[in-house]
């Protein structure tokens, strides 16, 4: 967690993948919104701190950016880093 995490480690955790799913569904959610959604619709029951730490990992991997607005923190999804995966191990075309 010290230093910059890579995208591979970032998406290794199921909870972090759900966070990406949530932001893909509705971009620009706050920490509390993400906590609520994960608890309500995804059956996750981690603490707010746990979710916050997960978001920090996603952010240091460049998959999420955040900006404070008043007392809330808004999160945005960035999927461009995933391009590295498809370029590194190209998927053969469907026949």
Q: Which residue ranges make up the site for DNA (CB under 7 A)?
A: 1, 9, 12-13, 15-16, 30-32, 45-50, 52-54, 57, 66, 70-73
Stretch that binds a copy of itself, among 8-16, 27-35, 45-53, 54-62 (CB under 8 A): 8-16
Tally the residues of the chain. Answer: 95
Report the alpha-carbon distance of residue 57 to residue 62 in Å, rounded.
Answer: 9
Kind of pairing between the strands at 29-30 and 64-69: unpaired
List the structure tokens of 43: 């059956």
Q: Which is nearer to a copy of itself, 68 or 93 (CB)?
A: 93
Give the number of C-alpha atoms closer than 13 A to the C-alpha of residue 86, restricted to the C-beta side: 8
The only residue of 4, 20, 22, 67 in contact with a copy of itself, by rule CB under 8 A? 20
86 binds a copy of itself (CB under 8 A): yes
Nearer to DNA, 2 or 91 (CB): 2
């Amino acid at each position: 967690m010290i230093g910059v995490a890579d995208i591979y480690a970032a998406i290794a955790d199921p909870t972090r993948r759900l966070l990406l799913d949530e932001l893909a569904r509705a971009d620009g959610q706050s920490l509390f919104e993400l906590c609520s959604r994960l608890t309500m619709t995804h059956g996750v029951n981690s603490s707010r701190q746990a979710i916050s730490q997960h978001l920090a990992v996603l952010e240091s991997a460049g998959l999420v950016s955040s900006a404070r607005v008043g007392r809330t923190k808004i999160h945005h999804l960035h999927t461009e880093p995933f391009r590295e995966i498809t370029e590194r191990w190209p998927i053969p075309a469907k026949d």
